[in-house]
Amino acid sequence: MIRAVALFLMLALGLPAVAEEKIVAGLSQSSVSITADYAGSEILVYGAVKRETPIPEGAPLRVIITVEGPDQPVLVRRKDRVYGIWINNDKLEAGMVPSFYAVATSAPLKDALSPEADLRYGITLPPALRTEDRDSQPFLDALLRIRTQDGRYATYENTIALTEQTLFRTDIVLPAALTEGNYTVRVFLTRDGAVVDEMKRTLWVRKAGLERFLYEAAHQYALLYGLAALLIAAVAGWGASAIFARLRW
Protein backbone atom coordinates (compact mmCIF):
# COMPACT_ATOMS: atom_id res chain seq x y z
CA MET A 1 0.00 0.00 0.00
CA ILE A 2 2.69 2.44 0.97
CA ARG A 3 4.53 1.41 -2.17
CA ALA A 4 1.49 2.09 -4.25
CA VAL A 5 1.10 5.55 -2.74
CA ALA A 6 4.78 6.26 -3.33
CA LEU A 7 4.42 5.14 -6.94
CA PHE A 8 1.37 7.32 -7.32
CA LEU A 9 3.17 10.28 -5.85
CA MET A 10 6.11 9.69 -8.11
CA LEU A 11 3.84 9.56 -11.15
CA ALA A 12 1.87 12.55 -10.03
CA LEU A 13 4.77 14.76 -9.03
CA GLY A 14 7.94 13.32 -10.47
CA LEU A 15 7.16 12.67 -14.13
CA PRO A 16 5.01 15.69 -14.95
CA ALA A 17 7.66 17.85 -13.38
CA VAL A 18 9.75 17.30 -16.50
CA ALA A 19 6.89 18.22 -18.79
CA GLU A 20 6.10 21.22 -16.70
CA GLU A 21 8.88 23.20 -18.31
CA LYS A 22 7.03 25.09 -20.96
CA ILE A 23 8.36 27.45 -23.61
CA VAL A 24 7.11 30.98 -23.88
CA ALA A 25 8.71 32.49 -26.96
CA GLY A 26 8.37 35.26 -29.45
CA LEU A 27 9.90 36.59 -32.63
CA SER A 28 11.13 40.14 -33.10
CA GLN A 29 8.80 40.34 -36.08
CA SER A 30 6.06 38.14 -37.44
CA SER A 31 6.80 38.94 -41.06
CA VAL A 32 9.68 39.88 -43.32
CA SER A 33 8.96 42.15 -46.25
CA ILE A 34 11.26 41.76 -49.22
CA THR A 35 11.43 45.24 -50.62
CA ALA A 36 13.76 46.59 -53.28
CA ASP A 37 16.46 47.45 -50.78
CA TYR A 38 16.26 44.11 -49.01
CA ALA A 39 19.78 42.79 -48.43
CA GLY A 40 19.27 40.13 -45.82
CA SER A 41 17.90 40.51 -42.31
CA GLU A 42 18.11 39.18 -38.80
CA ILE A 43 15.32 37.62 -36.83
CA LEU A 44 15.51 37.77 -33.07
CA VAL A 45 14.01 34.70 -31.40
CA TYR A 46 13.60 35.14 -27.65
CA GLY A 47 11.71 33.57 -24.81
CA ALA A 48 11.64 32.05 -21.40
CA VAL A 49 11.03 28.71 -19.76
CA LYS A 50 7.89 28.71 -17.67
CA ARG A 51 7.82 26.31 -14.75
CA GLU A 52 5.74 25.87 -11.56
CA THR A 53 8.46 23.95 -9.75
CA PRO A 54 12.13 24.67 -9.04
CA ILE A 55 14.64 23.96 -11.77
CA PRO A 56 15.07 20.16 -11.86
CA GLU A 57 18.36 18.68 -10.79
CA GLY A 58 20.52 16.70 -13.15
CA ALA A 59 21.28 17.38 -16.80
CA PRO A 60 21.14 21.10 -17.63
CA LEU A 61 18.49 22.55 -19.86
CA ARG A 62 19.37 23.14 -23.52
CA VAL A 63 17.56 25.16 -26.14
CA ILE A 64 17.51 24.43 -29.86
CA ILE A 65 15.90 26.74 -32.39
CA THR A 66 15.28 25.87 -36.03
CA VAL A 67 14.09 28.12 -38.84
CA GLU A 68 12.83 26.37 -41.94
CA GLY A 69 11.99 28.01 -45.25
CA PRO A 70 9.29 26.79 -47.65
CA ASP A 71 9.96 23.51 -49.42
CA GLN A 72 10.90 23.58 -53.08
CA PRO A 73 11.47 20.88 -55.66
CA VAL A 74 15.19 20.68 -56.32
CA LEU A 75 17.15 19.13 -59.14
CA VAL A 76 20.82 18.37 -58.57
CA ARG A 77 23.04 17.86 -61.59
CA ARG A 78 26.54 16.54 -61.85
CA LYS A 79 29.08 17.56 -64.45
CA ASP A 80 31.36 14.94 -65.97
CA ARG A 81 34.11 15.24 -68.46
CA VAL A 82 32.87 13.98 -71.81
CA TYR A 83 35.13 14.29 -74.86
CA GLY A 84 37.33 16.76 -73.00
CA ILE A 85 34.58 19.16 -71.95
CA TRP A 86 32.54 19.35 -68.78
CA ILE A 87 28.85 18.71 -69.30
CA ASN A 88 25.84 17.98 -67.09
CA ASN A 89 25.84 14.22 -67.25
CA ASP A 90 23.75 12.89 -64.40
CA LYS A 91 20.96 14.28 -62.26
CA LEU A 92 18.88 13.57 -59.19
CA GLU A 93 15.45 14.97 -58.45
CA ALA A 94 15.81 15.53 -54.74
CA GLY A 95 12.10 16.16 -54.31
CA MET A 96 10.90 18.78 -51.85
CA VAL A 97 13.68 20.21 -49.73
CA PRO A 98 13.66 23.37 -47.58
CA SER A 99 14.82 26.50 -49.35
CA PHE A 100 16.34 27.64 -46.06
CA TYR A 101 17.26 25.82 -42.88
CA ALA A 102 19.05 27.13 -39.84
CA VAL A 103 19.67 25.40 -36.52
CA ALA A 104 20.89 27.29 -33.48
CA THR A 105 21.73 25.71 -30.15
CA SER A 106 22.67 26.80 -26.65
CA ALA A 107 25.27 24.01 -26.32
CA PRO A 108 27.25 21.81 -28.72
CA LEU A 109 24.70 19.96 -30.81
CA LYS A 110 25.85 16.49 -29.76
CA ASP A 111 25.28 17.41 -26.08
CA ALA A 112 21.95 19.08 -26.67
CA LEU A 113 20.33 16.47 -28.85
CA SER A 114 20.38 12.67 -28.97
CA PRO A 115 20.31 11.07 -32.44
CA GLU A 116 16.97 9.42 -31.58
CA ALA A 117 15.33 12.72 -30.67
CA ASP A 118 16.84 14.29 -33.78
CA LEU A 119 15.28 11.63 -35.97
CA ARG A 120 11.94 11.76 -34.21
CA TYR A 121 11.55 15.53 -34.33
CA GLY A 122 13.51 16.11 -37.55
CA ILE A 123 15.67 18.80 -36.02
CA THR A 124 18.89 18.79 -38.03
CA LEU A 125 19.03 18.55 -41.79
CA PRO A 126 21.60 15.80 -42.56
CA PRO A 127 19.31 12.88 -41.51
CA ALA A 128 16.62 14.21 -43.86
CA LEU A 129 19.13 14.26 -46.69
CA ARG A 130 20.21 10.68 -46.23
CA THR A 131 19.22 7.88 -48.53
CA GLU A 132 19.82 4.16 -48.76
CA ASP A 133 20.66 4.54 -52.41
CA ARG A 134 24.43 4.76 -52.73
CA ASP A 135 24.26 6.39 -56.15
CA SER A 136 22.01 9.19 -54.91
CA GLN A 137 23.86 10.03 -51.73
CA PRO A 138 26.64 12.10 -53.39
CA PHE A 139 23.96 14.34 -54.92
CA LEU A 140 22.33 14.97 -51.55
CA ASP A 141 25.74 15.60 -49.99
CA ALA A 142 26.44 18.12 -52.73
CA LEU A 143 23.07 19.78 -52.09
CA LEU A 144 23.93 20.18 -48.42
CA ARG A 145 27.43 21.42 -49.22
CA ILE A 146 26.40 24.00 -51.83
CA ARG A 147 23.50 25.33 -49.81
CA THR A 148 25.70 25.58 -46.73
CA GLN A 149 28.17 27.65 -48.76
CA ASP A 150 25.33 29.88 -49.99
CA GLY A 151 24.23 30.50 -46.40
CA ARG A 152 20.90 28.81 -47.05
CA TYR A 153 21.64 25.96 -44.68
CA ALA A 154 23.40 26.76 -41.46
CA THR A 155 24.14 25.36 -38.05
CA TYR A 156 25.02 27.81 -35.31
CA GLU A 157 26.19 25.90 -32.26
CA ASN A 158 26.42 27.69 -28.92
CA THR A 159 24.80 30.83 -30.29
CA ILE A 160 21.71 30.86 -28.10
CA ALA A 161 22.27 32.87 -24.96
CA LEU A 162 20.60 30.96 -22.14
CA THR A 163 20.45 32.70 -18.78
CA GLU A 164 19.75 30.83 -15.52
CA GLN A 165 18.22 27.97 -17.53
CA THR A 166 15.27 30.28 -18.07
CA LEU A 167 15.77 33.14 -20.48
CA PHE A 168 17.03 32.59 -23.99
CA ARG A 169 17.58 34.65 -27.11
CA THR A 170 19.34 34.36 -30.44
CA ASP A 171 19.58 36.07 -33.82
CA ILE A 172 19.01 34.07 -36.98
CA VAL A 173 20.48 35.57 -40.14
CA LEU A 174 18.28 35.41 -43.23
CA PRO A 175 20.29 35.62 -46.47
CA ALA A 176 19.80 38.21 -49.21
CA ALA A 177 18.70 35.53 -51.67
CA LEU A 178 15.53 34.69 -49.80
CA THR A 179 12.63 32.63 -51.09
CA GLU A 180 9.10 33.80 -50.49
CA GLY A 181 6.79 31.78 -48.28
CA ASN A 182 6.01 30.76 -44.72
CA TYR A 183 9.00 30.12 -42.51
CA THR A 184 8.52 27.83 -39.55
CA VAL A 185 10.39 28.69 -36.38
CA ARG A 186 10.58 25.81 -33.89
CA VAL A 187 11.94 26.04 -30.36
CA PHE A 188 12.92 22.88 -28.48
CA LEU A 189 13.83 22.42 -24.85
CA THR A 190 15.99 19.40 -24.20
CA ARG A 191 17.46 17.69 -21.18
CA ASP A 192 19.99 14.93 -21.58
CA GLY A 193 19.38 14.94 -25.30
CA ALA A 194 15.65 14.30 -25.01
CA VAL A 195 13.03 16.83 -26.02
CA VAL A 196 11.10 18.26 -23.06
CA ASP A 197 8.92 20.78 -24.83
CA GLU A 198 8.40 22.03 -28.36
CA MET A 199 6.84 25.16 -29.81
CA LYS A 200 6.15 26.49 -33.29
CA ARG A 201 5.79 29.96 -34.70
CA THR A 202 5.31 31.09 -38.26
CA LEU A 203 7.26 33.85 -39.93
CA TRP A 204 5.76 35.29 -43.08
CA VAL A 205 8.23 36.20 -45.78
CA ARG A 206 6.62 38.20 -48.55
CA LYS A 207 7.74 40.41 -51.36
CA ALA A 208 6.34 43.86 -50.75
CA GLY A 209 5.76 47.07 -52.62
CA LEU A 210 7.35 47.25 -56.03
CA GLU A 211 8.78 43.75 -55.74
CA ARG A 212 5.33 42.30 -55.06
CA PHE A 213 3.82 44.30 -57.89
CA LEU A 214 6.40 43.24 -60.47
CA TYR A 215 6.32 39.61 -59.41
CA GLU A 216 2.53 39.42 -59.58
CA ALA A 217 2.45 41.25 -62.89
CA ALA A 218 5.04 38.93 -64.43
CA HIS A 219 3.01 35.87 -63.49
CA GLN A 220 -0.56 37.02 -63.89
CA TYR A 221 -0.31 39.40 -66.81
CA ALA A 222 2.63 37.84 -68.60
CA LEU A 223 1.89 39.30 -72.02
CA LEU A 224 1.22 42.81 -70.75
CA TYR A 225 4.32 42.58 -68.60
CA GLY A 226 6.42 41.57 -71.61
CA LEU A 227 5.00 44.44 -73.63
CA ALA A 228 5.64 46.85 -70.78
CA ALA A 229 9.25 45.67 -70.69
CA LEU A 230 9.51 46.51 -74.39
CA LEU A 231 7.88 49.88 -73.91
CA ILE A 232 10.38 50.79 -71.21
CA ALA A 233 13.20 49.67 -73.49
CA ALA A 234 11.84 51.71 -76.39
CA VAL A 235 11.26 54.86 -74.36
CA ALA A 236 14.68 54.61 -72.74
CA GLY A 237 16.41 53.99 -76.09
CA TRP A 238 14.61 56.86 -77.76
CA GLY A 239 14.98 59.14 -74.74
CA ALA A 240 18.74 58.71 -74.54
CA SER A 241 19.02 59.35 -78.26
CA ALA A 242 16.88 62.49 -78.04
CA ILE A 243 18.76 63.88 -75.06
CA PHE A 244 22.13 63.29 -76.68
CA ALA A 245 20.94 64.88 -79.91
CA ARG A 246 20.02 68.00 -77.89
CA LEU A 247 23.49 68.08 -76.46
CA ARG A 248 24.86 68.35 -80.05
CA TRP A 249 28.03 66.72 -79.11
Partner 1 sequence: MQLYLPIAEVSVNAIALVGIGGIVGFLSGLFGVGGGFLITPLLFFIGIPPAVAVATGSNQVVASSISGVLAQLKRKAVDFRMGAVLLGGGLIGSSVGIWVFRKLSAAGQVDLFVQLSYVLFLGVVGLMMLQESLRALARSRKPGAPIRRAHVHTWVHGMPLKMKFRTSGLYISVIPPLVIGAFIGFLSAVMGVGGGFIMVPAMIYLLGMPTKVVIGTSLFQIIFTTAFTTVMHAVSSQTVDLMLALLLILGGVVGAQFGARVGVKLRAEQLRILLALLVLAVCARVAFDLVMTPEEFYSITAGRLP
Name which of 7 and 233 has its Cβ closer to partner 1: 233
- Would you count residue 131 as binding partner 1 (CB under 8 A)? no
Q: By CB under 8 A, tell whether 83 contacts partner 1.
A: no
If one asks whether residue 174 binds partner 1 (CB under 8 A), the answer comes out as: no
Residues 180-219 that bind partner 1 (CB under 8 A): 180, 207, 210-212, 214-215, 218-219
Please, which residue, 115 or 239, has the CB nearer to partner 1? Answer: 239
DSSP class of residue 20 equals T
Buried b (16+ CB within 10 A) or exposed e, 157-177: bebbebeebeebbbbbebbee
Are 147 and 129 in contact by the 8 Å Cβ rule? The answer is no
Which residues have CB under 8 Å from 62's CB, separation 6+? 105, 106, 107, 111, 112, 113, 162, 189, 190, 191
Of the candidates 148, 69, 155, the one whose C-alpha atom is nearest the C-alpha of residue 104 is: 155
**143 touches partner 1 by CB under 8 A:** yes
Q: Where along the sequence are the contacts to partner 1 (CB under 8 A)?
A: 34-40, 72-81, 84-88, 91, 99, 138-139, 142-143, 145-147, 176-180, 207, 210-212, 214-215, 218-219, 222-223, 225-230, 232-234, 236-242, 244-245, 249
